[in-house]
Amino acid sequence: MNRMLRDPSLPRGRQVEEEALAEVAALLGGLERRRDMLIEALHLIQDGTGCLHARHLAALAEMFRLSQAEVYEVASFYHHFDVVKEGETAPAPLTIRICEGLSCEMAGARELIGRLRAATDPDRVRIQPVPCIGRCDRAPAAQVGRRAVDHADLGPIIEATALAHEAAVPEYETLEAYRSVQGYRVLERVVSGALPAEEAIAVMSDSGLRGLGGAGFPAGRKWSIVRGYEGPRLMTVNADEGEPGTFKDRFWLEGSPHRMLEGALIAAAVVGCERIYIYLRDEYPAVREILLREIAALEEAGLLSTPIELRRGAGAYICGEESAMIESIEGKRGLPRHRPPYIAENGLFGRPTLNHNVETLAWVPDILRHGAKWFADQGLDGRPGLRSYSVSGRVRNPGVKIAPAGITLRQLIEDFCGGMAEGHELGAFLPGGASGGIFPAEMADLPLDFGSFEPHGGFIGSHAVVVLGQADSVRAAALNTMRFFAHESCGQCTPCRAGTARLVELLEAPDPPLMEELVQVMADASICGLGQAAGNCVLHLLKYFPEELA
């Protein structure tokens, strides 16, 4: 048998082709060859070639002085990267993503996927069912290349293919417009010392503003904690909202991006952070265009008091967890870290790190301008402040609703959503997205705020409210959420990796005692909140809707 012997003068493994090196160098342009820029480099290659060929990954490893295995493990971790191995066929030149999250499923996404596959050429168009893409209020939602299609149907999707290469950027409040209404005046006061850091922290603490990305940690206290660690310090902005039912970050960034940008610059100045990293979900190409424009405008206007770097995610829900996000910014797989230490002490690049989500920062300029009492007094029954509720499902007018903290679901539906959709009565609801649990209509008078649902095994999280009608199957809703978690588990810990997949099977062929036991194991033994909270909807199905398992 003839065997090809390896040339001993060459290194082991795949050989790097000079032509591939030249192609990758042209695609990367002036991008710095640093480990933390690896994911952006992968994006640039895929943007230019449509996928990630093995020869290009080998060339990228050479240029970044990494092993080919390191580059491959990162590229293959993220859902939005299409890695093409030797002998495999590259994907079709155009990808149409159809959301099959809960709100979109209720709006007919599965039928739409079938009709699209029947109407398109698979050699030219890839139809890809995907988890939530942050447009739940416009269900069913699709993304044709870089172009979003709301209330998607066959005709509008086909029409959008001609414009798939460009994002549709909506009208938004520019820097000039924002400055005309006192924008960046608070930042100027902080930077000049007219508003001392200690005073700013006290106002934030007195306002009662809590982290609105899900955890609800008091914002002023977080500033004080991170500021207490020896510098240099860094700041991260989590704009990677991926919880099914959540789209408030997109609402703020597509409409008023400078509220978040000024809030971030204020927080960085008060805490003493040397650089800000905004981690933006890849499903928001229009937001990326907006932020690139407006950050450049800030720099030109001399208002960029702290340097800002914009980083793209790559379709991994787990990177909404703060330590997984930090791993991703560092150019690695988005695997959650074991804690302690917490990122406030040892975060990005090993430095003390302040992390906030978009909505939290969007309230900062107004609070420091108008005072703590102004914000705190806008809640109900002693609950401080306002909230951005992402409302989708069976309501007449879904969308982001700015409402008082502590409002009940019934009030939110009637006063802000125009009531239930025609033909539907309230049957059940998810107060905090897929992980916050699912509750019967009888509990719709609980305040939609931190602390209300915890005694019942749920939580408000990022205030993602999904409303089900009386004819909707809660079991089907729980199955939808569990399929999402099984798809998005990072695989690092066995309870989550194996548990989510097993719960999908058990929802299809129920075994209530085993389901309850498995959810408890996942809650006790999973590393991060994904596995710990993934089974909430299953527990509530067992507790509040047992008739659906009969």
Quote the pTM value: 0.95
Residue 181 shares a structural domain with residue 288: yes
Helix (H, G, I), strand (E, B) or coil at 503: helix
For residues 356 and 211, state if they share a domain: yes
CA 201, CA 221: separation in Å to the nearest integer?
8
Indicate whether 409 and 441 sit together in one domain: yes
Q: Are residues 330 and 408 in the same domain?
A: no
Residues 324 and 367 in one domain: yes
Which residue, 285, 295, 323, 338, is CA-closest to 163? 285
pLDDT of 183 over the 80 cut: yes
> Does position 3 have pLDDT exceeding 90, yes or no?
no
What pLDDT was estimated at residue 2?
44
Within-domain flag for 118: yes
Average pLDDT value for the chain: 95
Q: 313 and 419 share a domain?
A: no
Split into its structural domains, the chain has a count of: 5
Predicted pLDDT at 15: 85
Last residue of a domain, one of 469, 489, 511: 469
Q: Which domain holds residue 540?
A: 474-549
- Domain membership of residue 398 (yes or no) is yes
pLDDT digits (tens, 9 = 90+) for 111-155: 999 999 999 999 999 999 999 999 999 999 999 999 999 999 999
Q: State which of 84, 106, 133 marks the end of a domain.
A: 84
With beta carbons less than 8 A apart as the criterion, state whether 252 and 358 touch. yes
Amino acid 87: pLDDT: 85
Q: Is residue 6 part of a domain?
A: no
How many percent of the chain have pLDDT more than 70?
A: 98
CA distance 208 to 547: 41
What are the Cα distances from residue 248, in Å, to 23, 241, 268, 314?
A: 39, 8, 22, 19
Q: Residues 377, 396, 105, 328: what is their CA dihedral angle, to the nearest 10 degrees?
A: -30
Tell whether the model's pLDDT for residue 285 goes beyond 80: yes
Nearest Cα neighbor of 197 from 164, 233, 173, 148 is: 233
Give 86's pLDDT tier (boundaries 50, 70, 90): confident
Strand-pairing partners, residue 550, are none
Query: Which of 469, 490, 515 is a domain's end point?
Result: 469
Q: Is residue 346 part of a domain?
A: yes
Q: Would you say the C-alpha torsion 340, 38, 485, 149 has a positive or negative sign?
A: positive
Distance CA 186, CA 361 (A): 13
Residue reference for tokens 């992980």: 435
Instruction: Judge if 255 and 351 occupy the same domain.
Output: yes
Q: Which residues are CB-neighbours of 188 under 8 A, at least 6 positions away?
A: 194
Q: Are residues 133 and 192 in the same domain?
A: no
pLDDT value, residue 263: 98
- Residue 16: which of 76, 75, 51, 57 has the closest Cα? 57
Strand partners, 464: 390
What is the arithmetic mean of pLDDT over 468-492? Answer: 96
Confidence of residue 540 (pLDDT cuts 50, 70, 90): very high
Residue 6 has pLDDT above 70, yes or no: no
Predicted confidence at residue 11, as pLDDT, reads 61
Q: HSE (CB half, 13 Å, CA atoms) of 351?
A: 18
pLDDT at res. 9:
62
Question: d(Cα 346, Cα 327) in Å, to the nearest integer?
Answer: 12
Say if residue 188 is exposed, middle or buried (CB neighbours under 10 Å; 0-12, 13-18, 19+): middle
User: Tell me, what CATH number does 452's domain have?
Assistant: 3.10.20.600
Q: Compute CA distances 14 → 56, 159, 538, whole Å.
A: 11, 42, 46
**Domain assignment of residue 485, yes or no:** yes
Is residue 89 domain-resident?
Answer: no
pLDDT at 1: 41
pLDDT of residue 412: 98
Residue 550 pLDDT grade (very low, low, confident, very high; cuts 50, 70, 90): confident
Q: In the predicted model, what is the mean pLDDT of residues 264-290?
A: 98
Edge-to-edge order in the sheet of strand 273-280:
308-312, 273-280, 233-239, 353-357
Residues 248 and 395 in one domain: no
Q: Is the pLDDT of residue 201 over 70?
A: yes
Mean pLDDT of 265-288: 97
Do 116 and 224 belong to one domain?
no
CA-wise closest residue to 42 among 3, 70, 16: 70
Of 75-79, 270-274, 344-348, 526-530, give the lowest mean pLDDT range: 526-530
184/248 same-domain check = yes
Residues 424 and 306 in one domain: no
What are the pLDDT digits (tens) for 37-73? 999 999 999 999 999 999 999 999 999 999 999 999 9
Decide if pLDDT at 303 tops 70. yes
- The whole-number average pLDDT for the span 190-198 is 97
Q: What is the pLDDT of residues 361-404, one digit of tens each?
A: 999 999 999 999 999 999 999 999 999 999 999 999 999 999 99
Cβ contact 191:305 at 8 Å: yes
Q: Is residue 8 part of a domain?
A: no
pLDDT band for position 30 (cuts 50, 70, 90): very high
CA distance 103 to 105: 5
Instruction: Check pLDDT > 70 for residue 538.
Output: yes
